[in-house]
Structure 1
Amino acid sequence: MFGRRPERVESGGGPRAAVRMEAVRKTYGNGDSAVEALRGIDMQFDYGSFTAVMGPSGSGKSTLLQTAAGLDQPSAGRVLLDGVDLTGKNEVALTELRREKVGFIFQSFNLLPALTIEQNVTLPLKLAGRRVDRNRVADVIRRVGLEQRLKHLPGELSGGQQQRVAIARAVVTEPAVVFADEPTGALDTRTAAEVLDLLRESVMVTGQTIVMVTHDPVAASYADGVVFLIDGQIAGEIRNPTPEAVADRMTHLTALVEQPRRTYGAGQSGKRGYY
């Protein structure tokens, strides 16, 4: 398996969120040139949930991902990652936190070309100063179907195989959450489906939490739910999405009126959300 199912709970016994965003605002620039990319986002992503984030260009998708992952600080509000408040932490502390609690998957794979597949996968462990469990590394690589390619370089693999390496690298540290930014954008339809199946499996089998930014309704349909953004605000959501429902919502997205803020992944708290 990719890793063990997380067992993180609140002191009261209910599930905690892998990521919680509270009244998060993000503004770039000052004065008349200021652009408000996020406008009071309230949401959370529970452990073991798979959420797709969609919206038109400029809606705030990338800013939401970067802020939730601790890559960028909000202008107001706060972000809690695996229960840790990111407010006021310096870049050194944020870097250490990301190494321990976050995995990343990018459209461009971001593998180091001079390192073998095995070395690319173990790199996050070494950067974090953690012992490399060879049995676990081998198991993770086996789960993505590349056990026969351990000593190959990324340039010797297909695009789909490289993205499988990126998935293995993202989950090998057993992070609280994996952020995926257009993970199938550079892949053909069949290969994209294989990669999405792997992501879905990591949620179903091991309880991994995944937040995925995508423009593809088919990719979004692999998630438990889809969050839609317009102009830095939540503009709706679909649970148990189908490609048709997502495509229809995207087509009419700009006509949606502002809806009440929602909290995603509420679990036993009684609030609406993804589980």
Structure 2
Amino acid sequence: MTNDEEPAVRLRAVRKVYGTGQAAVNALDGVSVDFPKGSFTAVMGPSGSGKSTLLQCAAGLERPTDGDVLLGGVRLGDLSETALTLLRRDHVGFVFQSFNLLPFLDAELNVALPLLLAGRRPSRKVTAGVLAAVGLADRARHRPGEMSGGQQQRVAVARALVTGPQVLFADEPTGNLDSGAGRAVLGLLRSMVDERRQTIVMVTHDPLAASFAGRVVFLRDGRLAGELAAPTPRVVAERMTGLETAS
């Protein structure tokens, strides 16, 4: 959509206010941050810091009260609801804590669902390709109930990738997984960045999960509270402890 120097996602002085008057809550308070193409960024902060709101605004799920969000150089505030829906459908992938798979569909059809909903005929080659990419080539005919939690989340990742999104947004993607399955999913996301130059923005509370990212962006009270490159679980945990205990 634009030249390679343009960040995949750019937020400029973004504010998001919920409610009015004395009940108003500033979920985001003037946040400016870039997410470069081909990067893996974790977003962290104490409860109520605004991290999920940041993800929702960056992905076009919420419109900010003030400020600008650009995705692939496109200013989301300039788009109608229909145009915004189409942009999300074609250029954004989502992975959530809940796998959100349809239990009566097999893995291949769950992966193909975004294409079917867009009125596109899914190619078996494409769906098989993304299932193979997440290590589930032999599970195409299995329904969610026949797979482990980690395998179901891999199907959800494949579904998010099937449209070839510019950005994949993940909100606590390992929150419902045991430690082994969680590490496997995080390793998968890391490989998508390293091998496919996929851009990933992940909200997490887990220092270990954050260590799979190349950068951690910290929020506190709706504002940026620093960032960390090449994170390790210990350093991330120390930074989080500092944010949570700060007055």
Fold-level match, TM-score > 0.5? yes
TM-score w.r.t. the length of structure 2 is 0.96
TM-score (norm: length of structure 1) = 0.87
Query: Which residue of structure 2 aligns with residue 118 of structure 1?
Result: 108
> 5+ unaligned residues in a row in structure 1: which ranges?
1-7, 258-275
The aligned amino acid for 2:113 is L
Task: Note if contact 1:176-1:208 (Cα within 8 Å) is conserved in structure 2.
Answer: yes
Deviations 1:224-264 (A, max 9, x none): 0000000000001100000000000001114669xxxxxxx
Letter in 1 for 2:216: V
* Aligned equivalent of 2:82, options 88, 92, 100: 92
Q: Distance in 2 between matches of 1:166 and 1:236?
A: 31
Match of 1:19 among 9, 17, 22: 9
The answer to whether the aligner puts 1:79 opposite 2:69 as a matched pair is yes
The 2-side partners of 1:130 and 1:206 are apart by 24
* 8 A contact 2:56–2:62 mirrored in 1: yes
Task: Pick one of 42, 48, 52 that aligns with 1:52.
Answer: 42
Distance 1:254 1:135 in 2: 48
Is 1:207–2:197 an aligned residue pair? yes
2:241 corresponds to 1:246? no
Alignment RMSD: 1.4
- 1:92 Cα deviation from its structure 2 partner: 2.2
Q: What is the aligned length?
A: 247
Asked if residue 37 in structure 1 is aligned to residue 27 in structure 2, the reply is: yes
| Cα distance in 1 for residues equivalent to 2:121 and 2:102 | 21
Structure-1 separation of matches of 2:2 and 2:21: 43
Q: Which residue of 2 aligns with 1:196?
A: 186
Matched residue, 1:173: 163
Give the letter aligned to residue 102 of structure 2.
L
Q: Which runs of 5+ in 2 are unaligned?
A: none
What one-letter code is carried by the residue in structure 2 that aligns with 1:73? R
Equivalent pairs: percent with the same residue?
A: 61
Residues 64-88 of structure 1 show CA distances to partners (whole Å, capped at 9, x for unaligned) of: 0000000000000111111111104
- Distance in 1 between the 2:228 and 2:124 partners? 40
Counterpart residue identity of residue 98, structure 1: R
TM-aligned CA deviation for residue 181 of structure 1 = 0.3
